[in-house]
Amino acid sequence: MKFQLPVIYPLDYMMTIDYYLWLAVVVIGLICVMLFFFVKIVKCESDLQKPYLYGISFFLLLLTLQRVAYIISVKMSGADYNFWTNLGYICSLAGMTCFFLGIEKSIIRKTKYLLSLTSLIGVVIGLLSLVNILERDISMKITYIISTLATVIIIVLFGWMISKSAGSIRKKSFITFIGVVVLFAGIMMDSELVYGGLWPTMPLIIPPILNSIGLITITITNMR
């Protein structure tokens, strides 16, 4: 069954400059991912650092694919809104899983991949909803809780890395932390929760601009 964009969204959502800004976010995301894969990782000689870099690379790639899915859900004629938004949530959680996997393989090994498995549960639940094995409403509630928890954990992890590092590494961790916070702020502000009540009059250009700033900040910082 196909659904239209929920009525809580502004009538001009993705109808003006914000649509082109979101397209720019996709382009910026793909450029950032290519820089990680074909520049930073290729030049990296540390086997300990590579899992972390791969984790960030796939994290950014899947968040970019999440945005592609959201754009399709709104702009493609006849697109199944629920299917594509579900796919977007799956991409987001899969990206967080990759990030956790990179962190747990290179920096924090005491967690025994517990963080990765937790976000992976969200991916599985999303897939069950995608193939209509699990009701969408139930799936969305669970994945929203898991994704929110994962977001908080990622921010806390960067805070921990800042506290445990010094010098240039600490500076890089701090700037990356700022980039992650800005990126997630942009993602969370472009949501039914915000448009439906928290900030219904929010300018539509703010979320894509924050996404772009976050992506660029994370990439430039880790290219050094």
- Each residue's pLDDT, cut to its tens digit, for the chain (224 residues) gives 444 677 888 889 999 999 999 999 999 999 999 999 999 999 998 888 999 999 999 999 999 999 999 999 998 877 788 899 999 999 999 999 999 999 999 888 888 899 999 999 999 999 999 998 999 889 888 988 999 899 999 989 888 889 888 888 899 989 999 999 999 999 999 988 788 887 888 899 999 999 999 999 999 999 98
DSSP-based three-state secondary structure for 165 = coil
87 closest CA partner among 127, 132, 51, 41: 127
**Within a domain: 7:** no
Q: State the residue range of the domain holding 203.
A: 34-223
**Within a domain: 42:** yes
**Within a domain: 13:** no
Q: Are 203 and 190 in contact (CB under 8 A)?
A: no
**Within a domain: 217:** yes
**Within a domain: 9:** no
**Within a domain: 68:** yes
Q: Count of domains in the chain?
A: 1
Q: What is the pLDDT of residue 4?
A: 62
**Within a domain: 118:** yes
**Within a domain: 23:** no
